[in-house]
Amino acid sequence: MQPMQVSSWQQAELNAARWMRHWGYADATARPGGPDSGVDVRAAGALGQVKYQAAQVGRPELQRFVGARPRGSNAQLIFFTGSDYAPTAVAYAEEWSIALFKYGLDGMMTPVNAPARLPRLPPRLPPHPPRQVSRSGSGTGAWSPGSVCSWHRSARSGTRRPTRARSPWTS
């Protein structure tokens, strides 16, 4: 992924969204300039907060971020700053599994704590059905793309044999 230069808070938010998409949150979107309710980047399965400031990030900023997460949500919280984190902020982030990153003016990201080094990939369905190999002529349940094979016992013989059903990814 090609990071983008960061010279404004808007670029910092857009850069964070690009990194989140790179990490697997394909729908990560930043909306610089609009009301953010404490969340600058939104994705299915993750929320991001971006700070473009010279001051060190403290525990209160992380507490506000946790409070901005919608009720009942288990979205991964990811916090980005161009400055440093106070030790109390890092300890709080560890306790709440908030991934902390520090970005450079060149747009590169550096993980700060353990949750940032062990990213949780978002839960997602494959973009298309798994590739299936056709075994035509085998006589043991040939299958092709678009079908799903499952096994059941034949009532008459007691042996297992494949049955075919339509794939949920095809019409």
* pLDDT attached to residue 142: 43
pLDDT of residue 76: 94
Q: Please say if the pLDDT value at position 143 is more than 90.
A: no
How do residues 116-127 score in pLDDT, each as one tens digit?
987 555 554 444
Q: What is the pLDDT of residues 85-112, one digit of tens each?
A: 999 999 999 999 999 999 999 999 999 9
Can you say whether residue 107 is alpha, beta or left, with left for phi > 0 and alpha for psi between -120 and 50 degrees?
Answer: left
- pLDDT over threshold 50, residue 25: yes
Looking at residue 167, its pLDDT comes to 35
- Output the CA torsion sign for 57, 60, 62, 68: negative
According to the model, what pLDDT value does residue 36 have?
64
CA of 25: how far to CAs of 123, 125, 155, in Å?
A: 9, 12, 46
Burial 105-120 (b: 16+ CB within 10 A, else e): eebebeebbebbeebe
pLDDT at 98: 95
pLDDT tens-digit readout, 30-89? 987 766 678 999 999 999 999 999 999 999 999 999 999 989 898 999 999 999 999 999
CATH of 9-117, one of 3.40.1350.10, 1.20.140.90, 3.30.70.250, 3.40.630.10: 3.40.1350.10
Which residues of the chain form CATH 3.40.1350.10? 9-117
**Is pLDDT at 154 greater than 90 in this prediction?**
no
Contact 22, 46 (CB under 8 A): no
